[in-house]
Amino acid sequence: MNNTSLITAYPQVKDLMDEKPIFWRNPDYGQPADLPFSKADIFDAVARWERFAPYLEKVFPETAAAHGVIESPLIRLDQLQDSWSEVTDQKLPGRLFLKADSQLPISGSIKSRGGIYEVLKFAEHVAMAKSDLVYQDNYQVLASEKYRNIFSSYGVIVASTGNLALSVGIAAASFGFKTTVYMSHDARQWKKDKLRNHGVTVKEFNTDFSNVITQARKDSLADPSIHFVDDEGSSDLFLGYAVAAVGLQKQLKEQHVKIDHEHPVVVYLPAGVGGSPSGVTFGLKTIVGPYIHAIFCEPVHVPSVTLGMMTKLNNKICVQDIGLDGLTAADGLAVSRPSRLAGKVMRTLLFGSVTFKDSEIYRFAAKLMDTHQITVEPSAAAGFTAITPLINNIPVFNNENTTHIVWATGGNMMPESERVANYNKGKVLL
């Protein structure tokens, strides 16, 4: 289908081509669906996280206080909500929260969920296939010399624009796997440096993510001892993210957030390739229920998941096909072609999506720092950009009964120089 045909069939494609911020409502939301995963799959992943908690507590001291549990706080943003009109020229009724995956241990981002989970599952498989690990063992044993020697015969490869690399790289290196990360030109230097400090091999490519992941996939196929973490279609990554819903369900109860038809909850998720927000959304709809709604947030230069879902072409179309350059300051979202899984699973589960200009994420990141002294990466502030377009287009969410949750996807591992530069840029824009 050429671009003229696409615009005729889906008029909002023209706005995407013109780099205009849009709100897209998914016409298939809430329809019956035949999903490839179930609630049982989520709780299988929950059990694996629990088995590995003693290992994580031993190897990563930052998880000791939570006894090896990987979880982030749900933070009420009263001050930011009170000053909402200073950024958006209108008030925000209801309640505003931050789901601070920017504070997750080990890699400081949402990728601590999916990326680490996939490495844990691979390590468990190797330990059971090549040695005598059983499910009832204390998994601290996996940190022993015996198992490190076994793991050293295996490799892990991942391609990433940044945060997935940190989670997979740091976790895989902790086991002793030969770990290689393929990174696109969008990746920040500090992320490459941190990986190398953990003994990870970093291969840099002066091209975008879609080309890099193709090369990584090809190289991993050449060696059967290598496990490839496929950000474009991994079920294990997806289910690692989905587990987030179990923790959030408990936090919503603790914060006395009512969820029913009259009291909806809207969750705003930054989307790059689409894997992590799709996994989280699947988990939320499966665990929390029908009255929690997900909105994906993407840069106007790289609206890959929105484009794929809007046209129903999913991963068969990339942003360059409609004349976009795929360049954005939101490095974690700089993915030109969406996941094979994202559009397929989100077809009936995603309420809609919003696209934003890069300046907006700097403004909100600075405002979050001013009001709550919370630092996030620019891309992790993407969720804030979607609230006003949603409540302006869907009035039912513009009331005191709606709870808004912005999912902050990364940030607490940023070097101080990066934090300061991002904040100063945001302050100028405010």
DSSP-assigned states of every residue in 323-382:
T-----S-GGG--SS--HHHHHHHTTT--EEEEE-HHHHHHHHHHHHHHH-----GGGGT
Q: Which residue ranges make up each domain of the chain? A: 3-37+66-107+242-429, 110-237
pLDDT, one tens digit for every residue, the chain (430 residues) = 889 999 999 999 999 999 999 999 999 999 999 999 999 999 999 999 999 999 999 999 999 999 999 999 999 999 999 999 999 999 999 999 999 999 999 999 999 999 999 999 999 999 999 999 999 999 999 999 999 999 999 999 999 988 999 999 999 999 999 999 999 888 889 999 999 999 999 999 998 888 999 999 999 999 999 999 999 999 999 999 999 999 999 999 999 999 999 999 999 999 999 999 999 999 999 999 999 999 999 999 999 999 999 999 999 999 999 999 999 999 889 999 999 999 999 999 999 999 999 999 999 999 999 999 999 999 999 999 999 999 999 999 999 999 999 999 999 999 999 999 999 999 999 9
DSSP-derived secondary structure letter, 116: H
pLDDT at site 210: 87
Q: pTM here?
A: 0.97
Query: Which element (helix H / strand E) includes 68?
Result: none
Question: 35 near 282, Cβ under 8 Å?
Answer: yes
Question: 130 near 256, Cβ under 8 Å?
Answer: no
Question: 397 near 264, Cβ under 8 Å?
Answer: yes
CATH code of the domain made up of 110-237:
3.40.50.1100
Closest CA to 163 of 416, 400, 377: 377
Angle at 288 between CA 78 and CA 303, to 5 degrees: 70
Same fold flag, 3-37+66-107+242-429 and 110-237: yes
Question: 186 near 162, Cβ under 8 Å?
Answer: yes
CATH top class, domain 3-37+66-107+242-429: alpha beta
DSSP-derived secondary structure letter, 137: S
The span from the CA of 336 to the CA of 271, in Å, is: 11
Q: How much of the chain is in helix, strand and coil states, percent to nearest 5?
A: 50, 15, 35
pLDDT at site 416: 95
Supply 280's token pair: 């989280």
Query: Which element (helix H / strand E) includes 395?
Result: none
pLDDT at site 184: 86
